[in-house]
Amino acid sequence: MMQWQSWSAFFNMGGYAFYVWASFGLTVLCLVWEVWALRKRSAAALHLARLLAQDQ
Amino acid sequence: MIPWFAWMAAVFAMIGLYVGFAIAPTDFQQGEAYRIIFVHVPAAWMSMIIYIVMAAWAALGLVLNARLSAMMAQALAPTGAIFTLLALVTGSFWGKPMWGTWWVWDARLTSELILLFLYLGFIALQSSIDDPRKADRAGALLALVGAVNVPIIYFSVKWWNTLHQGSTISMGAAPKMVTTMLIGMLLMALAFWMYTIAVALMRVRCIMLERERSSAWVKELSGVAS
């Protein structure tokens, strides 16, 4: 079922390597960045809420 | 609930990528470049679906004066903007080798670009108004007015003579090809769906914490009260 003769053929994507891998790479990058940014935001929000809760 | 959706997203993405890269055959017209479809089309679908869901939450928040609905709309907007950007950029990476140009002002591409500006406008408008309730109402109005753009994007390839192809032309000759390509695409779309739910829930939790930090229920949260 595999479509590829070798790994290098797979990475070469029939000569369209740049366009295919740029598309998938950018997608992964964007989604990883979003999750990372949200984790940071979540930690900061929780920290602030804790500080406020302790004040009283 | 969030980890559950995150795991579903990862599993669907893994199977989807396997189907898309290992099982789906080479396209008879476009060679391997067509494989961009497995990220381009699901991202474009999500950009429209998220907008509709966002506008629906915003409308609900406006009609019922419900804060949580407005927060859900707000939580979806950045993810929608990211998928719109991805649809545009991966489309560009597909357009260059196939059409010979990164960008063309045809109806499909232009209306998708307008969608990106609607998302960005919604985010900017919400963050520019200090009173969160006023920001919710202003954002909801923008989201609702902008919703007319979604059917325009969807039907643009039918209504106008666009360079962007209709939805089935790039599919292969044999029916078997169509099936594996379609399955790969649907799996990736499912992965993006699950991802969107996980991320939107994460973000709405942040928004609630930030907005309601001085209210009693936040202080009693297990993660906050220590």
* Nearest CA-CA partner of B77 in A34, A46, A23: A34
* Nearest CA-CA partner of B119 in B95, B88, B96, B164: B88
- Contacts A–B by Cβ distance under 8 A: 100
Q: What is the pLDDT of residue B224?
A: 67
Q: For the segment B35-78, what is each residue's pLDDT rounded down to a tens digit?
A: 999 999 999 999 999 999 999 999 999 999 999 999 999 999 99
Backbone φ/ψ region at B65: left (φ over 0), alpha (ψ -120 to 50), beta: left
Residue B225 pLDDT grade (very low, low, confident, very high; cuts 50, 70, 90) = low
Burial class (CB in 10 A: 0-12, 13-18, 19+), A49: buried
d(CA B8, CA B89): 26
Maximum distance among all Cα pairs of chain A, rounded to whole angstroms = 67
Output Rg (C-alpha) for chain B, integer angstroms. Answer: 20
Percent of chain B scored above 70 by pLDDT?
89
* Nearest CA-CA partner of B202 in B75, B77, B82: B75
Contact: A3, B36; criterion CB under 8 Å: no
Residue range(s) defining the domain that contains residue B56: 19-190
Tell whether B78 is within 8 A of chain A (Cβ). Answer: yes
Contact: B26, A27; criterion CB under 8 Å: no
Q: Is A56 helix (H, G, I), strand (E, B) or coil?
A: coil
B62, part of any domain? yes
Instruction: Give the count of beta carbons closer than 10 Å to the beta carbon of residue B52.
Output: 14
* Beta carbons of B205 and B212 less than 8 angstroms apart: no
Q: Which helix (H) or strand (E) holds B195?
A: helix B175-211
d(CA B139, CA B123): 8
Q: What is the pLDDT of residue B176?
A: 46
B156, part of any domain? yes
Q: For the segment B129-183, what is each residue's pLDDT rounded down to a tens digit?
A: 999 899 999 999 999 999 999 999 988 887 887 788 766 544 444 444 468 888 9
Contact: B202, A42; criterion CB under 8 Å: yes
- Whether the complex's predicted ipTM is more than 0.95 is answered with no
Whole-model pTM? Answer: 0.90
Q: Which helix (H) or strand (E) holds B96?
A: helix B67-99
Tell whether A31 is within 8 A of chain B (Cβ). Answer: yes
The full set of domain ranges for chain A reads 7-55
d(CA B91, CA B210): 36
Q: What is the pLDDT of residue B169?
A: 42
Domain count, chain B: 1
